[in-house]
Structure 1
Amino acid sequence: MRIPSGQMQEVLYQLFIKYQFSEEKALVLAKAHTDSTLSGVNSHGINRVPLFINYIEKGLIKVDAEAEKAETFGSIERWDGHFGSGVINATKCTNRAIELAKLHGMGLVALRNTNHWMRGGTYGWQAAEAGCISILFTNTQPNMPPWGGRDSRTGNNPFVVSIPRQQGHVVLDMALSQFAFGKINDYKLKGEKLPFPGGWDDNDDLSNDPEKILAKERGLPIGYWKGSAMSMILDMLATLLSAGDSTYRVSLREYEIGISQVFLCIYPEVFNDKSLQEKLLNEIIDYTHNVEPMQPGNSTFYPGERALQTRASNLKDGIPVSDEVWQTVLELLG
């Protein structure tokens, strides 16, 4: 089915109000989940809502809590999320990193004791809309084996980079697993196989079967050993900068809560060469756009380009949503 974005946002707003969020927070949450779905990332938008509500009902996500500044070191700050909503906390910390960047040229906020931020790209777009370059990342529960290992010990640790651009912002949003686990679940819901291997099955063989991969959550790191190493580095940075919990410590809990995140923003206006920046960006994009495709009719894209196209299409035609997921959301609303 297809749902108009306005209808989705209103339904989600009312749902979050029902679960005791303030009107302001309910609107932030509803907009974040709707925008992610509008951009084609159902796995971290509408599909994630039932699990989010489940965590609230279990008391794992504290509705009244939000991030607060704990320590200041000039243009660097440490914040504590107090186990509040990951979306609310990440939105607040991105805004603070933007403020610091506009004050100092660069600002970094490291956040501990927070929860899943849903689509990491949300905060890349947020920074770009405010005119800032951003580098953002988070650790997660263990869901990838370190290269050569059998059991999961590293996280898929989403990594986001955004660059503001007049003709359309550049936004890289990727997990360090070949497929984010929400995306693997998307394929499961549709009864489809992954287009490429995405993890290991019970026989320690690489598989493109989402059910077999999800059974033990042993994802395949991007670039094999390189992705494994990058996952460890991002976990180390998020843990050290925030003085928060590592993937190891998160693994000691029954549920994925209390993770650590980093929000780094740079304000490019300090260089006073905006026209040159636009020219250089467009040269890179044009150079990659103009390559001859391997398959006739194929195109190349810069990071974030397809999200903009998907968003425009879904605004016009409505957002494709799983019947099962939408019915579950409506039942939660009652």
Structure 2
Amino acid sequence: MEKAILVKSEELRDYCQRAFVKFGFDNEDAKTITDVLMAADMYGIDTHGSQRLEMYRQHINKGFVKVGNKPSVAHETGISAVVDGNQAMGQVVSKYAMDLAIEKAKKSGVGMVTVRNSNHYGIAGYYSQLASKEGLIGISATNSFRVVVPTFGKKPMMGTNPIAISIPAEPTEFFFDIATSVVACGKVEVRNKKGINLPVGWGINEEGKDEVNPQHLFDNIMNREGGLYPVGGSSQLFGSHKGFGFSLLVEFLTGVLSDGTTSNHTEEDGMMGICHYFMAIDPNLFGDPKKITKKWSTYLQEVRDSEKAYGQERIYTHGEKEKETYQERIKSGIPILPKTIEEMKSLAKELNMEFGINI
């Protein structure tokens, strides 16, 4: 197994920023895209950080992403909006949409924005956190290119369809960011780069059987001849129908409400067509925000302090691991796999720019 290389966060940030400017994005958009990637790397969500640069290179070169395009409002009310992404970079579209939801929530108590005609937006939690940093409750969801099979099916019909919710709390905000598939597609890529087999129950091959070879499953995903299981795996015995149902709900909130594209019709007609959903809620709707945050924080601490299972020393609430990983990586650096480093060097050469990362 290849050992990861530690890279200084400021050097990685500078590399990404320069790369996106070289692609043709203005400084503000390049910073937004970089911020989302760096948040993933700093939180330990390695599948969606700099690991994704190669995918974005391909999406830009294939014309899925229209560099320089900006999102626009297609329909709007006092508390809601439909945004057309106009094939712009997903991070640019999504920050615009969540900022709009936040603005509406501050004026009316709630803001809901659904998005069509966008691209891959990175980690869902980045956008829910934009709301929680303003003292609001933030919700973010997206569909994606189809990689997930329905319960008892073998043809992918949904994306990994993550849902993220961020709620202010002390000493650590509640930060819940999950795929509605057993794992994110990027985890198969990372395992493939490391040369490690997959656990049984992650995905299904073209024959409708469990697949443990990461390259084979990745090829299946790319060829749409198999894919990942929804949360719960292949069987209702362990709740596959629950993950399947959550995934369908994300499709409704994103691809259907926006009059956009469901995951099984993405990558058609030269468009990626990914759709998103954002919501911001002002806790003032329910009473004193400080009292709500205090009660929520107390409960989370009671959960952390509750009795531990045999052999376990700690109960983590969502957001604690990300906060601790962030602090660790500020000091020690971000672990990047050698194959990803090679992809980054190749990208720098393609963009005719200095690599600029000391390894």
TM bin (shorter chain): over 0.9
Give the residue type in structure 2 aligned to 1:274. Answer: P
SS of the residue aligned with 1:28? Answer: helix
Matches within 5 A, 1:1-334: 1-195=5-199, 197-217=201-221, 218-223=227-232, 224-250=240-266, 252=268, 257-334=272-349
Q: Secondary structure at the match of 2:228?
A: coil
Distance 1:261 1:42 in 2: 21
The offset of 1:207, in angstroms, is 3.8
Contact kept, 8 Å, 2:167 with 2:174, in 1: the verdict is: yes
Secondary structure in 1 matching 2:328:
helix
User: What is the alpha-carbon distance in structure 1 between the residues aligned to residue 85 and residue 267 of structure 2?
Assistant: 18
How far apart are the structure 2 equivalents of 1:176 and 1:211? 22
Q: TM-score, normalised by structure 1?
A: 0.94
2:266 counterpart SS class: helix
Q: 1-side partners of 2:116 and 2:344: how far apart?
A: 29
Q: Could you say what secondary structure the match of 2:257 adopts?
A: helix
Which amino acid letter does the alignment assign opposite residue 318 of structure 1? G
Number of paired residues?
A: 333
Q: Which moved more, 1:91-100 or 1:25-34?
A: 25-34
Q: Answer yes or no: is the 8 Å Cα contact 1:2–1:317 preserved in 2.
A: yes
List gaps (5 residues or longer) in structure 1. Answer: none
Report the aligned-residue RMSD.
Answer: 1.8
8 A contact 2:130–2:138 mirrored in 1 = no
- Structure 2 Cα separation of the partners of residues 24 and 202 of structure 1: 43
| 2:171 partner letter | Q
Which aligned segments of 4 or more residues in structure 1 are displaced greater than 4 angstroms?
A: 251-255
Equivalents in 1 of 2:202, 2:270: separation in Å?
Answer: 24
Question: Alpha-carbon deviation of 1:249?
Answer: 2.4
Q: CA deviation at 1:250?
A: 1.6
Amino acid in structure 2 at the alignment position of 1:286 = Q
* Residue 303 to residue 240, structure 1, CA distance change in 2 (3 Å): same
1:254–1:311 Cα change, 3 Å:
same
Q: 1:298 to 1:195 in 2, by over 3 A?
A: farther
Give the TM-score normalised by structure 2.
0.88
Separation of aligned partners in 2, 1:9 and 1:124? 22
Any idea what the Cα deviations from partners look like across 1:145-184, whole Å, max 9, x if unmatched?
2111221122221111111224221111111110000122
**Could you tell me how far apart the structure 2 residues matched to 1:28 and 1:82 are?**
17
Percent identity of equivalent pairs = 26
Counterparts of 2:105 and 2:74 in 1: how far apart (Å)? 19
Residues 54 and 252 (structure 1 numbering): CA distance in 2 closer, same or farther, change over 3 Å? closer
